[in-house]
Structures are given as structure tokens and as C-alpha cells.
Amino acid sequence: MKNTLSSRGVFGSKRWKTLNVVVLLVASFLWGAPAADSNNLLASTENIRLPPKNSLISNVTFVVFDTETTGFSPKTDRLVELGAVKFRNGKVIESKTWLINPKRSIPSYVQKVHGITPEMVANSPTFKDVYPEFETFIEGCVLFAHNANFDVSFMRAEMARNGITPPRNLTIDSLKLFRNWYPDLKSYKLGDLAEYAQVTGGTFHRAEADSLYVFLIFDKELQKRNVKVKLDDIYTEANGPLRF
């Protein structure tokens, strides 16, 4: 639900509502995991069998993941949905979505964005129960997320609350990647990117569908290239991978 709310905040006046959203958006970027040099990161992740940076993209298994939340703050808000799409060499291997009980309310203005209601998650498992399945799903994969700072910061906060050791997988920020690929675009929202790339993948602002869109946009561009793209090329064009 990142970059989607309008001026509906929790303060009284319209001006404060707008300010609230802006502050939260800025905070979500500041709390995000910093990008780092891929050489240093790869040196610290050798024991989880990640593909070498000189691997051809066609030989790498990726997982795009996305989150839907109760708000913008990793400290006070919670996940309500986690979606992921696994792909390799232009083909989807598996996709999965988990509805998550946040154990707190979901503001009505947030429900209007992603459509996830309290009733939908009332009997869903908690993040602690869901995470082992996600960890298995991403084993040995390089991750993607659009505006990855947001998703990574929320995942990290949930892990910290539940005493979970963060995964050592590297995450590519598709927002940064697409900005470098398409420097002349005015907007890098998934809807605008999908329209530009002429791909369709379902309803926006749901975790699994948004993950699919990232894959489709990424794959569409790779199909245009007649060179053998390597993993390190993508790391570089995304300004370096992130970690949890």
C-alpha cells in the first residue's frame, strides 16, 4: 500500500492530514535498509548458496515479494498481506499469497486502498506463523521488491518483534532499477509502469498481483535486450542490492 494514500490521515484538519501522510512516506524511506556494495554483501552471504554475481540472469531464480499493511510506519503498523512470485528465465515457477492477522485494527481509509478488511484476516495466521513458509519459498533466491525500502523495513520490524533472524537473501529495488531503465518517465508507480510496458497482471495494491507486475515489467524489458545480461548488471542498474 506504499505511495497510495491521499490526504486522509489521523489528524483533525485537511492540512494536518496531508502533512501526516507526507511525514510517514518520508519516514518509510528513512527506516529502509540501505543499499550496499554488492561485493561486500555477496561475501557475507556465501553460506546460503546465492548465485554468483557473474551468473547469467537466465540461470538465476528470483522472488518478487510485496506487502500490504495497516499504515506507513513499520514501528506502529503491521502487515496484513504478503505476496510472492518466483520466476526463472522468464517463466513463473510458483506464486503465493498469505493473509496475515495484524492483531490490531485496519483503518478504513487503508481498507479502501488494498481492500483488505478486518473480517478477511480475523482467522488468518500471524506473521510469526506465516514467516517459515515465506523463508522456505525464498531459499536460495535473489529477491525483488518495488520501493524495497518500504517492504524490507516492515519485514525487518515484524521479524524483530517476533524474535526471527532475518534472511540473508539480497533484495533488488525494482523502483530504482526501472528509474534507470526508463529515465524519461514521469511516474514509476506500478500502474503507470505496467501501462508503459503494456502488461496486465490483476488488481493493483494486492501483494501477489503487484509482485506479478514487477516480474512482467522486468521480463518485458529483458526480452528487448539482445545481450547476455548478468546478475551484477542488474545489481549495478538498481544502485546495489539491499539486505534485511
Residues belonging to the active site = 205
H-helix segments, 96-230: 108-114, 118-121, 127-137, 148-161, 174-181, 190-197, 207-224
Interhelix angle 207-224/190-197, rounded to 10 degrees, is: 40
SS3 218: helix
Q: How does DSSP classify residue 142?
A: E
- Max intra-chain CA distance, the chain: 55
Integer distance in angstroms from the first to the last C-alpha of the chain?
Answer: 20
SS3 52: coil
Cβ atoms of 47 and 139 closer than 8 Å: no
Burial class (CB in 10 A: 0-12, 13-18, 19+), 55: middle
Cα 20 from Cα 87, distance rounded (Å)? 37
Cβ atoms of 236 and 53 closer than 8 Å: no
The residues that bridge with 56 in the sheet, in sequence order, are 230
Cα 109 from Cα 7, distance rounded (Å)? 10
